[in-house]
Amino acid sequence: MKLIFQCNKRREKEMRKLSKLLLVSAAVLSLAACASRMGSPADITDANQLLDNQAKAKGVDSDFYLLDSDVGPHDGLLATRSYYFAFNSNEVDSKDLPAIKAHAQYLLDHKTAKVLLEGNADVRGSREYNMALGQRRADAVANIIRMAGVPTSQVKTVSFGSEKPIALGETEADYQKNRRVDLLYTAK
């Protein structure tokens, strides 16, 4: 009987230790799960690959690759490379027309130059809606350029929806910065 009593006490101690260990482990795991973390390099690589795949899916073919930021004109109106939109709109602001037309003239004068128009949206709205809105915005700028006589082969469009923000805050000013089309010069 004494032996059974000692075994039970020993088991009881082991169970308490195990219970404490499990409790501490659960607390550590809970804290780790709640901690925020920056994207790992693998996450960033995956995100970049996703954006590349989306661009290819939208018709940006292999002869359209981005060059460094010094490519293309940077003088006067040609330095303006981002065009901003009102909430839920794809109407180009009249103040942006002179710059867009200047880029169209540059493309007419430089037949080997090409542009990629990246449409963007703020985070409000579904992913699908924002992708479509970004595409409508890019198409609106492309239509102005094409109406000036620039061949379709020199102008490509892609939408990133809300996937490529430049402002990460949640104020109206941040949202405004993300409702845009970016014009990027590309080449063969």
Q: Where are the alpha helices (DSSP H) in the chain?
A: 2-34, 41-57, 97-109, 127-147, 172-178
Domain ranges across the chain: 1-36, 44-187
Q: Which residues contact 107 (CB under 8 A, 6 or more apart)?
A: 113, 114, 115, 145, 150, 154, 155
Residue 66 near residue 186 (C-beta atoms within 8 A): yes
Specify whether the CB–CB gap between 116 and 60 falls below 8 A: yes
pLDDT at position 176 over 80: yes
- Span 32-55, mean pLDDT? 56
pTM of the model: 0.64
Q: What is the pLDDT of residue 24?
A: 61
Name the CA dihedral angle for 43, 49, 53, 54, rounded to a multiple of 10 degrees: 50
Return the pLDDT at 38: 46
More confident site: 25 or 113: 113
Is the CATH code 3.30.70.580 the one for domain 44-187?
no
Report pLDDT digits (tens) over 89-145.
999 999 999 999 999 999 999 999 999 999 999 999 999 999 999 999 999 999 999
CA 72 from centroid of its chain's CA atoms: 23
Residue 17 has pLDDT above 80, yes or no: no
Q: Write the pLDDT tens digit of every residue in 45-80.
A: 565 566 666 555 554 444 444 444 446 677 889 999
Residue 85, pLDDT above cutoff 90: yes
pLDDT band of 2, cuts 50, 70, 90: low
Among the ranges given (28-32, 115-119, 147-151), the one the predictor scored with the smallest mean pLDDT: 28-32
pLDDT at 54: 59
| H or E segment to which residue 186 belongs | strand 180-187
- Which pLDDT band holds residue 36 (cuts at 50, 70, 90)? very low
**Residue 160 phi, psi (nearest 5):** -110, 0
